[in-house]
Amino acid sequence: MTALLPRLFGDMTDWFEVDFPRPLPAIRFEDKVSDKEYVLRAELPGLDPDKDVQITTVHGVLTVKAERREEAKGLNRTEFRYGALQRSIRLPANADEKAIKATYGKGILEITVPLTAPQPAGHQIEVTTG
């Protein structure tokens, strides 16, 4: 019985990773962070980055939208996924949104987000009397 659980529920881990509600199928990311940059990579094979991929940032949230259009009609069967894909993630607080760069090659979209020096989490407010 315990050997069946990973097979039965293995795909559910993806379900818990994405934000709710899920407007479109999610783009899968891998990421790494260092002191100087945050790098996101996404598998998006078969896309033209000039026509099919849009990357935006608003208030510290980076959104990647992509669309794969069906090319061949009359196929007997396809397991390819067509249509719109989308994923939004919150950037680190010290992300330099104006200096973000994106490259696409061999089906991989790589987004590099430069990081500035960490900002203090807050500051002390002096209380005065009357």
| Better-scored residue on pLDDT, 116 or 81 | 116
Rg (CA), the chain: 20
What pLDDT is recorded for position 82? 80
Domain assignment present for residue 39? The answer is: yes
% of the chain beyond a pLDDT of 90: 55
Q: Give the Cα separation of 98 and 8 in Å (integer).
A: 44
- State yes or no: pLDDT of 112 exceeds 90: yes
- Per residue in 31-88, pLDDT (tens digit) is 999 999 999 999 999 899 999 999 999 999 999 999 988 776 776 777 777 889 999 9
What pLDDT is recorded for position 14? 42
Domain assignment present for residue 2? The answer is: no
Domain assignment present for residue 14? The answer is: no
Boundaries of domain holding 52: 24-114
What pLDDT is recorded for position 4? 52
Domain assignment present for residue 9? The answer is: no
Cα 3 to Cα 9, 10, 13, 107, 119, distances in angstroms: 11, 11, 17, 35, 47
CATH code assigned at 108: 2.60.40.790
